[in-house]
Amino acid sequence: MELFGCEYHPFTVRFDGQTWIEMLLDQPGRETQTAVDLLKFRFRTPKVNGLIFYGDDSQNDYFAVELFRGRLQVSMGLGTYPWATERMGNVVVAGSLLDDEQWHDVSIIRTGKNLNISVDGISIWRNLSSIFMHMDMNRKVYIGGVPSFSNKRSVTVTENFAGCIEEFNFNGVQVIRDTLRSKPGLIMTEEIWSRVDWLDALGYPPRDPLLWWGPPTTTQQLNISGFAIGGNGVLLQDCPPPTADPTVITFPRIEQSLVFIKIERSGGTSKVTFSMSFRTFNKGGVLFYHTVDNDKNFISFEMEDVYGHLMVEIILPGVNPIRYTMPNEDSAAFNGTFADGLWHSVYFEMSQTSVRTVVDGREYTTQQTFLEPLHFERIFYIGGGRPQRFSFQGCMRQISVNAQDVVWSKLDPESRSNEIVNGSCLITDRCSPNPCKHEAPCTQNGETFFCDCTNTGYSGAVCHQSEYFTSCSEVGLFYGQVAPQLRVIIDLDGSGVLDPITVLCDFTDRGSPETRIEHTDVKFISVDGFQNPGSYSRTLNYGRASRAVLSELTRRAVYCEQSVAYRCWNAKLLAKPQGFGDGTELTWGWWVGRTGRPRYYWGGGVPGLKMCECGVHGTCTGNSLTCNCDGDGSDAPPLVDTGLLTFKEDLPVWEVRFGDTGTLADQKRAEYSINDMRCNGDRFFDNTVTFVKLDANLELPSIFAEYEFDMSFLFKTTIKDAVLMQNVGRKSGHFFELRIRSGIAFRFAFNVGNGLQVLEVTTAYWLNNNQWHVVRLERNRKEARLIVDTNPAKVLVEPHERSFLMFNFDQPLFVGTTQAFTDGYVGCISNVLVNGVIQDIRGIVERGETTYGVRPGCQPKCDTKPCLNRGVCNEFYSHYYCECGLTPFRGFICGREVGGTFSNGPMVKIDLSSMGDSFGTLEEYITVGFKSKSKRGILMQMLGEGKTNFIIVRVNNNGGITVEFDVGFGRFEVTTDYIVDLSSGQHHTVKAWRTHIGQVWHLQVDNYPEIVKDFRPILSETADTRLDKPRFLFLGRNDSMLQSSGFDGCMYGAQWNNLFPLRMIFEDPKNPNTYVEPPGAVTENKCGFEEILPVPEPVEVRPPIPFPPNLTLVGTIEDLTRQRMIFGTVGSLLALCILALLIVCCRKFTLKKGNYRTMEAKQVVDNVSTVDEALAAPTADLPEAQTSREWWL
């Protein structure tokens, strides 16, 4: 094996806790302002606390790196406004067990508000809470410690760093290197420093005198950083290697009383002592155990498994049991636990008069006199041994029992478990970096970790999946009809970094719910005694709503407003104060938006104009051009300036500043009111697309997630089986798919190399019911979860005994189909969130990146109401179907009249007795269209039970329409009084209906005046107005009329309540309850109407799959060369073979040929001896000679 590389000559120094290096940025011209900060170094230390780096400035910027409780803690702030009262600090913790005297690599990179911290290759990303983007420093920057810890922002420790630091690089400055050459007294004596070859020591290549004619490089020229270096103490260049501790042992697993060390000491003593140091992350476990008589009487020193406190339990004969717990007194220890991964020292002593315990220097003593002499046995157990109790898991060192050290090499191998490891501490911190999201606390045992999601607003094994809806629009899908207003918690980015907030959702307008952000100061608040401009200050409290959350809320809203009001008594608002500053920007009052910038306009005004609403419209009182309150006070106070703030980029009002309110003794004062912010619309909820082709799809970036992946979206469809999303990895074989199955189940399937894993939620309702449904799914290192709507989560537990396999996809995420464009989905998909990031699926369509088979927004085809004449539209998204069964029409969109030609008075009789409707009617709706030239015939008649139970609509002999009826209170008629003859061969539509429990008749033909006849004056309250038990429905005539009296013409659009008799005549198969007499006398006819057809949709053709311009269809260069050699050799051999074959063939057909054809005479006579005789012979076979001719033109 060969190793290639360069020699590594790092610049390393050792700090002793009293030494530090200074970068003198406080000198003139040395201050810095950076948009990007880079800090890289390596360190090694046995200490758990120590300040490594600190810098700040006078504008509340600071940057601190410290080792706190064995972890790297980075604190950073990018400054605040001078008047700001809220803190803008950020604290990030990374790494664990960093006090192990091993080298650890640290990289800290800040780019704007994004912070990345890497410790030993494990990175943590954070988004800084700040209103600025730059880091300003104009004071000293300290490396390794500070002279004093007072007034150091966000510094937790009180100790300087003690250990080794190597290659410390801050924003391109090699601090240790520059310290070596700039401050000789800080590292070594002047004499030694002057003899050092700094070109070689600093890594510069040697210069050949034959090629270098310039002057020698001086030490001043080597200081290329331009920073002045200072410091205190003496830095040591030696960094001795760590010394191994032979007393360290590791208990790797937890088992009930099986893993322990058995120690033998001299028995019969009346005193027992033991001491040790331990570190662990696991709560629970026995550290020391001694029994007197087979576990009935014992001494047990252990850690309880709830909080990780230490517990002493003593049960001996002749004395009351002793039991007490000892919490960790370190204020930074969570719940006082000792399971924090730090070394803790323990000393225990029990004598005839007392029990004494010392933990981390804190003493616990119990004074008690034992009545019987104490007598201890020879056997002691370390790390376990107590029945029915778990063994200790972690590390121990410096173990001593009865003042004798436990030496591993001297122990009997049979007295110790084979799994115990000596010489190193091998515990693992499974909570670093914290796998629990959203600042949820993490606990662990020997096998896995646990997250406590209480009060975080998130659920799941790692507290990653949000428990709340993303907006009021989404809440309205499920609870919009519960109440007109609901106070709910929403999480704008799902599992993202934004915290959930409480809002008030107003569903008065179901199409656009209103989101109201409330604060605590909505009433009028008095301002008095603040004379200087902006001297009164008040920050509004929006609860958990941070600036980042409010920015996202207003960005997604279509419109936002906030009402403000200011009532003044001789106090000015936006006038320029005299004698304060230059007056270019300053006004008596202003407000601060969420961006932290002052805003010098009031309600109804606009940015850039220092005016209120009256100033914009020119309606201010007095001589004021800005606000009513800025006038000369001629009007009686109070004056009022009120209006709406509608500029979204500034909202909401974060802070108010007022002045010019005099003193408490004068008449100048003011009151102000800031109402809640109201927002309408939700661009995220409108981020919707509609799939209208079964092979249409969108392509999103492939799924990427390190340890946590989550997705949420809404869908609305009518398809039963379809793939909504699919992602595959061709190289890795990984697979991800979301599918709706059978209309009632939703499936989440994936494969990361360990077989297909399936989660399926089956609902008690249809998922393809054309209603919105919410899907939330998550996969993390502990489990996979699927939630559909408000159904219980389906959970698949990841086995913890094997490593977690991440998704590895090299293909885009297909939305709408599989990767092969099959199993297509049609319907709407909205609100796609992947790992808290909004996927702009609508933008893909609107920008024209994908257009085939997709539409922006949710555009069901039935929303355009394509079905005519009250036809019911059935949505299929790729197409639609009009149900015309409850209309008197037919056709694709119910646009074809169903009519019949009645020639020579035929009769249509429909038997209703078998239809089950025998209850009768009090009110009817009758309509029928006709075209006729004869003044006779029944258009429609309903005959009930008995002779006096009928309603007839007929054409009278005057060419009008008569409704004749008898439903129990007598026979009456209602007749049209139009002067128009309706039997003129024109189309007419008759409508007749009863109201008021059958006591009022209405009759209307076409658009002629409606005829109303009220029978209530002649009817009693008990009059019978019911048409009882309908039996038969007649068209044309009834069975008691002659054929010559029947209707002659064309009838269409017939309807009696929910019956459509003309449709029943022409049903296929034939309706057995319908009779036509004579048979076939009524034929289907559209009565002169043309069918209305839908406008044909443009034909869409899937575009061909683009050929990738950089696609290489051949192999590597080596493979291509080999292929060329093979093809060349084979081709040459084939050419040689063909050439040889041609030569052989030519030789065969040309050499030694026996017969060949000539133009000579053939010898045909055997006795001819000469040629002349042969030519003279009559049978000579002579060639034909042609005579040549010459033509003259």
CATH value at residue 874: 2.10.25.10
Q: Output the six-digit token pair for 381.
A: 């157990």
999/1017 Cα distance (integer angstroms): 9
CA distance linking residue 787 with residue 746, whole number of Å = 9
CA angle 302, 345, 405 (to 5 degrees): 90
Question: What is the structure's pLDDT at 798?
Answer: 82
Same domain, 876 and 948: no
Q: Which stretch of 119-123, 319-323, 1043-1047 has the lowest confidence by average pLDDT?
A: 319-323
Taking residues 701-709, report their average pLDDT.
Answer: 84
**Do 409 and 527 lie in a common domain?**
no
Q: Which of 1084, 1108, 1125 is the last residue of a domain?
A: 1084
* Number of alpha carbons in the 13 Å side-chain half-sphere of residue 766: 11
Residue 1145 DSSP code? H
Tell me how far apart the alpha carbons of residues 1087 and 986 are, in angstroms, rounded to a whole number.
Answer: 10
The rounded Cα 710 to chain-centroid distance in angstroms is 6
Q: In this structure, are 281 and 342 located in the same domain?
A: yes
Burial 596-614 (b: 16+ CB within 10 A, else e): bebbbbbbbbeeeebbbbb
Q: What is the reported pLDDT for 88? A: 67
Read off the pLDDT of each residue in 81-91 and give the average, rounded to a whole number.
69
- In this structure, the number of other CB atoms found within 10 A of the CB of residue 133 comes to 15
* pLDDT score of 257 more than 60: no
Question: 1188 pLDDT exceeds 70?
Answer: no
| pLDDT tens-digit map of 298-307 | 889 999 988 8
Of 318-332, 676-690, 1002-1016, give the lowest mean pLDDT range: 318-332
- For residues 86 and 35, state if they share a domain: yes
Whether omega for the bond prior to residue 1078 falls within 30 degrees of 0, making it cis, is yes
CA distances to 104, 404, 566, 661 from 603, in Å: 57, 82, 9, 20
Give which of 520, 483, 488 is closest to 501, Cα–Cα. 488
- pLDDT, residue 433, reads 85
Triad 489, 471, 655: Cα angle to 5°: 70
Q: Using one digit for the tens of pLDDT, what is the confidence trace for 790-799?
A: 899 999 988 7
Q: Which residues contact 1081 (CB under 8 A, 6 or more apart)?
A: 902, 903, 904, 906
Is residue 7 in some structural domain? Answer: no
Amino acid letter for position 1062: L
Q: What tens digit of pLDDT does each residue of 612-634 get? A: 999 999 888 888 888 999 887 65
Residues 847 and 751 in one domain: yes
Of the candidates 674, 679, 701, the one whose C-alpha atom is nearest the C-alpha of residue 809 is: 701
Amino acid at site 856: P
Question: 597 with 697, same domain?
Answer: no
Mean per-residue pLDDT, 229-253: 84
Check pLDDT > 70 for residue 1147.
yes
State which amino acid sits at residue 257. Answer: S
Q: How far apart are CA 596 and CA 587, in angstroms?
A: 17
Lowest pLDDT segment from 383-397, 645-659, 660-674, 1094-1108: 1094-1108
Q: Are 825 and 720 part of one and the same domain?
A: yes
Please state, as a whole number, how many other Cβ atoms lie within 10 Å of the Cβ of residue 1013: 14
Query: Has residue 414 been placed in a domain?
Result: yes
Residue 1157 within any structural domain of the chain? no
Question: What pLDDT score was predicted for residue 582?
Answer: 54
Give which of 955, 963, 952 is closest to 981, Cα–Cα.
955
Tokens representing residue 808 in the block? 């590895």
Check whether 1159 has a pLDDT greater than 60: no
First-to-last CA distance in the chain? Answer: 99
Q: Is residue 612 part of a domain?
A: yes
- pLDDT at position 202 over 60: no
Q: What is the pLDDT of residues 812-865, one digit of tens each?
A: 999 999 999 999 999 999 999 998 888 999 999 999 999 899 999 999 999 989
Q: What is the pLDDT of residues 343-395, one digit of tens each?
A: 999 999 988 888 899 999 999 988 777 767 777 777 888 888 888 888 888 99
* pLDDT score of 750 more than 70: yes
Cβ pair 541, 653 in contact under 8 A:
no
Q: How many domains does the chain have?
A: 6
| DSSP category for residue 417 | -
Question: What pLDDT band is residue 1113 in, cutting at 50, 70 and 90?
Answer: low
Lowest mean pLDDT of 350-359, 557-566, 910-919, name the range: 910-919
Residue 471 covered by a domain: no
Alpha-carbon gap, residue 358 to 329, rounded angstroms: 12
pLDDT at 347: 95
Last residue of a domain, one of 847, 874, 895: 895
Q: CA-based angle 707:713:718, to the nearest 5? A: 135
| The pLDDT of residue 1155 is above 80 | no
Same domain, 909 and 882: no
Which of helix, strand or coil describes residue 1072? coil
608 and 738 fall within a common domain: no
Closest alpha carbon to 718 in 879, 854, 841: 879
CA 85 to chain centroid: 33
What are residue 190's phi and psi, to 5 degrees?
Answer: -60, -35
Reported as a single tens digit per residue, the pLDDT across 930-988 is: 999 999 999 999 998 877 789 999 999 889 999 999 988 889 999 999 888 999 889 99
Same domain, 756 and 652: no
DSSP 205-222: PPPPTTT--SPPPPHHHH
Q: Is pLDDT at 1158 greater than 70 in this prediction?
A: no
Mean confidence (pLDDT) of the chain: 85
For 961, other C-beta atoms within 10 Å of its C-beta total 25
| Alpha carbon separation from 768 to 669, 745, 826, 855, 877 (Å, rounded) | 63, 10, 11, 19, 12
Residue 1186 CB partners (closer than 8 Å, separation 6+)? none
Same domain? 835 vs 782: yes
DSSP structural state of residue 793: P
Using CA atoms, how far apart are residues 991 and 870, in angstroms rounded to an integer?
A: 16
Confidence of residue 192 (pLDDT cuts 50, 70, 90): low
pLDDT at 209 over 50: no
Taken as a whole, the chain contains a residue count of 1193
Burial group, residue 1130, by CB count within 10 angstroms (0-12, 13-18, 19+): exposed
Of 1038, 1059, 1084, the domain-final residue: 1084
Whether residue 718 is predicted with pLDDT greater than 60 in this model: the reply is: yes
* 209 assigned to some structural domain: no
Indicate which CATH number applies to the domain containing 840. Answer: 2.60.120.200
Name the band, by pLDDT with cuts 50, 70 and 90, for residue 215.
Answer: very low
What single DSSP character describes residue 184? H
CATH number of the domain bearing residue 588: 2.60.120
Residue 271 falls within a domain, yes or no?
yes
pLDDT band at 230 (very low <50, low <70, confident <90, very high): confident
Which of these, 279, 329, 283, lies nearest to 441 by C-alpha position? 283
Domain range for 1049 is: 898-1084
Lowest pLDDT segment from 3-17, 564-578, 614-628: 3-17
Lowest mean pLDDT among 111-120, 150-159, 227-236, 720-729: 227-236
Q: How does strand 104-111 pair with strand 36-44?
A: antiparallel
Question: For the residues 731-746, what does the mean pLDDT come to?
Answer: 93
pLDDT at 580: 63
Q: What is the pLDDT of residues 860-898, one digit of tens each?
A: 999 989 999 989 999 999 999 999 988 889 899 999 989
Mean pLDDT throughout 633-640?
75
pLDDT for the residue numbered 193: 52
Percent over 70 (pLDDT), the chain: 87
What is the model's pLDDT at position 87?
Answer: 63
Write the Ramachandran bin of 7: left for phi over 0, alpha for psi from -120 to 50, otherwise beta. Answer: beta
User: Are 637 and 651 contacting, i.e. CB atoms less than 8 angstroms apart?
Assistant: no
- pLDDT at position 233: 81
Q: Tell me, what's the pLDDT at 496?
A: 82
Are the beta carbons of 890 and 1052 closer than 8 angstroms?
Answer: no
Q: What is the DSSP string of 630-644?
A: GS-S-SPSPEEEEEE
Quick check: is 448 in a domain? no
Distance separating alpha carbons of residues 345 and 290, to the nearest angstrom: 20
Q: How do residues 385-441 score in pLDDT, each as one tens digit?
A: 888 888 888 999 999 988 888 888 888 877 877 788 888 888 888 888 888 988 898
pTM of the predicted protein model: 0.75
Question: Is the CB of residue 778 less than 8 Å from the CB of residue 460?
Answer: yes
**CA 650 – CA 653 distance, rounded (Å):** 7
Structure confidence at residue 866 (pLDDT): 92
923 with 842, same domain? no
CA–CA distance, 253 with 341 (Å, rounded to integer) = 16
For residue 697, name the pLDDT band (cuts at 50, 70, 90).
very high
Q: Tell whether the torsion through CA atoms of 421, 427, 428 and 430 is positive or negative.
A: positive
